[in-house]
Amino acid sequence: MADSQTATVVPDFTAPMTGGQSFQLAGRPAKYTVLYFYPKDNTPGCTTESMAFRDHYQQFQQAGIDIYGISRDSLRSHEGFKAKLGLPFELIADSDEAVCLQFGVMKMKQMYGKTVRGVERSTFIIDAEGKLVKEWRGVKAATHVDEVLEFVARLK
């Protein structure tokens, strides 16, 4: 994806998500949509990040912002993760990596001394017209939601 300063229009996509629904980027009713990409359900960093978005969900809603988590996990895995954490937002299943590739979040990473291909923890804010407003890449799970909230506060 291009630099967020160029007001890039994000190509529309459709993907399955929890709750028996299908996510489509185009025509989202919210003023802004937050898409946060994370490596894997039920892992420590991803649990921390998802719980932080959960804990601040009302602040995002009051600002007219919808939140969606995305990983390569299956819908079944997502349903369990969502229920376990009590997430008030839906999770998008990208098992074929199409959305991850569209957003350029697949990277080679070091894990336990081995090089593996995986999702780089990243977040994107997209406005109602489908324009990329802000992106964060390679974020830290513990503090990232605070950064997103700071940015959101300036959107008003």
Q: Which are the catalytic amino acids?
A: 46
Q: Which amino acid is at 122?
A: S
| 62 CB burial (10 A radius; 0-12, 13-18, 19+) | exposed
* CA atoms 136, 104, 48, 51: torsion sign: positive
| Conformational region of residue 112, where left means phi above 0, alpha means psi within -120 to 50, and beta covers everything else | left
Are the CB atoms for 122 and 105 separated by under 8 Å?
A: yes
